[in-house]
């Protein structure tokens, strides 16, 4: 597991709306029993600065920043891609949620 890995969401109750989970936890914290993730939504309308859009497997998904949560890695499906090249965009959205700028 690495920061900014994107995994398939295997929870059948949420996978339609949130097909992917974005792991945002820093690699320093590998030993923790949970991972901090942000769901990537196929249904959410983007909001400036708060919910950036990423293309995953040729499909646009919206980072649902306000719904980040801590989960057990047991719910991760297959690793799809790492989007570390989007680090600035991801961190900016988190900052906007927490700091308002």
* Mean of the per-residue pLDDT values of the chain: 96
Whether the pLDDT of residue 20 is over 90: the answer is: yes
**Overall domain count for the chain:** 1
Region 12-33: mean pLDDT is: 94
Q: Are 15 and 54 in contact (CB under 8 A)?
A: no
Domain with 48, as residue range(s), is 5-99
Task: Write out pLDDT tens, residues 30-56.
Answer: 899 999 999 999 999 999 999 999 999
Nearest-10 Cα torsion for 31, 36, 40, 43: 140
Q: Where are the beta strands (DSSP E) in 10-85?
A: 20-23, 35-41, 53-56, 59-63, 69-71, 76-82
Q: Specify the pairing of strand 59-63 against strand 53-56.
A: antiparallel
Q: What is the model's pTM? A: 0.95
- We report the CATH number of the domain holding residue 19 as 2.30.30.110
Whether the pLDDT of residue 101 is over 90: the answer is: no
């Amino acid at each position: 597991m690495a920061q900014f890995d994107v995994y398939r969401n295997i929870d059948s109750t949420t996978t339609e709306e949130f097909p992917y989970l974005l792991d945002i936890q820093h690699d320093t914290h590998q030993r923790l029993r949970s991972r901090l993730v942000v769901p990537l939504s196929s249904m959410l309308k983007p909001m400036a600065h708060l919910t950036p859009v990423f293309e995953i497997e040729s499909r646009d998904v919206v980072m649902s920043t306000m719904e980040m949560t801590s989960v057990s890695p047991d719910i991760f499906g297959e690793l799809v891609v790492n989007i570390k090249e989007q680090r600035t965009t991801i961190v900016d959205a988190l900052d906007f949620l927490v700091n308002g700028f």
